Amino acid sequence: MYTVTPISDHTTWDTLVDLLAGHPLQKWGWGQLKSAHNWSATRLLVTNAAGDRVAGAQVLHRHLPFPFQSVSHMPRGPFFSTALTSTERTDVTTALTTWLKEHTGGVGVTIEPDLDATEPLTPAGAVASPNPILYPTTLILDLTQPADDILAGASKTTRYDIRKGAKNNLDIRRVVTDSEVDAVLATYRANAERVGFAIHSDEYYRDVHRLLGEDSFIAACFADGEVVSFVWLAKSATTWFELYASATDQGRKLRANAPVKWFAIEQAHTQGATRYDMNGLLNDGISDFKRSFAKHENTLHPSIDVPFSSLYTAWNKALPTAKKVLRKIRG
């Protein structure tokens, strides 16, 4: 028997996420960010019959046109106590979806847990999601290893670039001031225009940094007063999760990308995180660069949907609209 209780206090929620080793996308700040940009957030605590805190989930909701009402998403949630069995995790998730159906409704919820693909999660009514939001294939570094062992897993070229960056005293540091954030955004926007990919407004990214607070971490290489390479992460007590990265032509010439990423990895390691998640692997050059940091890949649990309405099928058939709405939640 599980009890689901909404949580409305920032500190209480983030304490729970970190206590149960939750993902950065389950932290309060991420929900606040999405709430500032067309979504809303519900944070749910799950307790067992003894009153123990055994799980939680931050759920994002997006209003939809009539008659669909809304669609919901659990980004890398729920998060669970390590004491739970796989059967208990499924029961907890069913308790959460039952609460959501009763209290928020809409067409249904997409669940994308931070679980390995080999770990079962089959809440009542679940079906494979036709519209995944987060990428299941990724690369997660095990930060419980010594830093030298992590570095040894990287390719020869990546290790060379990291050591060369240290030898050349590249100016790599954490971005702190608003002016430095603006410099990061200038680099990101220029590269997006050059390559031709869509990004959010500068206001959105400033909100990321402001609303995540200490859970936002930007590592950057500076040269001639400009940011020439950066990686931007969201972090929780256990997991650092890459959000965005970019570089200028000068940054590429300096081969700054690997040293910048390694700086972030070292900081995560030093601060006691156990996982560094590179947030998705595709068949592109960026993913090849990510793969150069290890000799393995990780496959997370596939996205699952729990329909709440007979309109669920109609919603998923409205693919252009559905994909446009869901894509906006990814970053």
Nearest Cα neighbor of 271 from 299, 306, 304, 233 is 233
Structure confidence at residue 65 (pLDDT): 87
Domain map (residue ranges) of the chain: 3-134+301-327, 140-298
- Which residues are within 8 A (CB) of 54 and not within 5 positions of it... i.e. 6 or more apart? 2, 46, 47, 48, 80, 81, 83, 84, 88, 92
Cα 107 from Cα 178, distance rounded (Å): 40
- pLDDT tens track for 127-169: 999 989 999 999 999 999 999 999 999 999 999 999 999 999 9
> In the CATH scheme, what architecture does the domain 140-298 have?
3-Layer(aba) Sandwich (3.40)
Structure confidence at residue 328 (pLDDT): 58
261 contacts 141 by C-beta, under 8 angstroms: no
Structure confidence at residue 227 (pLDDT): 98
Structure confidence at residue 319 (pLDDT): 54
255 contacts 164 by C-beta, under 8 angstroms: yes
Listed as ranges, residues in the chain with pLDDT below 50 are: none
> In the CATH scheme, what architecture does the domain 3-134+301-327 have?
3-Layer(aba) Sandwich (3.40)
Instruction: Say what the alpha-carbon torsion angle 278, 283, 286, 290 is, to the nearest 10 degrees.
Output: 40
203 contacts 219 by C-beta, under 8 angstroms: no
231 contacts 245 by C-beta, under 8 angstroms: yes
Is there a common fold for 3-134+301-327 and 140-298? yes
**Other CB atoms within 10 A of residue 273 CB:** 21
